[in-house]
Amino acid sequence: MRNQPAGCHGWLAHPCCRHCWTSQQWHPNPGPATRRGGQRRRGFVLLLLLVALAVATALFLTVVRHAALQRQALRSQWQQAQAGWLAQSAIERAVARLAAQPDYRGETWHVSAGELGGPDAGVVVIRVQSAAEQPGRRTISVEADYPDQPHRRARCRQETEGARP
């Protein structure tokens, strides 16, 4: 190799014979003082890498948390819609029962997960009362809970009035 010191067997041969290539000339490897600066530089790069990793991790966790909150909100909306559909079905059920049995007073209707086509069951309380001020009319009140679990349910209440059949 050109301009390489005599007796050098290449930069990998021995630590004291290491050389670096700069401006197409061989120069002996700098002394320990500059090596320490190189270690500081490597330490600084490592510190920057750790900071970048911490920032990336924080961003990732923020995105995951946001996705989990969106999923929870979507599930809550879906459960509220299901409870509303159950309440509407319960009113239709009460109207049909009143047509068949004029003395129908209501019931607790347990709807299985299979009937709903979903993962959870629902429950609806149906009440039929005579209107005190209007003897020929009845009030149908329903309260639908979906799913039928107290700690994570959505509730929908509906009420309607109608003439006695």
> Would you kindly state where each structural domain of the chain is located, as residue ranges?
57-163
Tens digits of per-residue pLDDT, 82-119? 999 999 999 999 999 999 998 899 999 999 999 988 88
State which amino acid sits at residue 47. L
Tens digits of per-residue pLDDT, 121-162? 999 999 999 877 777 788 999 999 999 888 888 999 999 987
Confidence of residue 74 (pLDDT cuts 50, 70, 90): very high
CA trace torsion 80, 86, 88, 94 (10° rounding):
-150
**Residue 148's Cα: distance from chain center in Å?**
22
C-alpha distances (whole Å) from 87 to each of 7, 100, 108, 143 are 95, 20, 12, 6
pLDDT at 4: 55
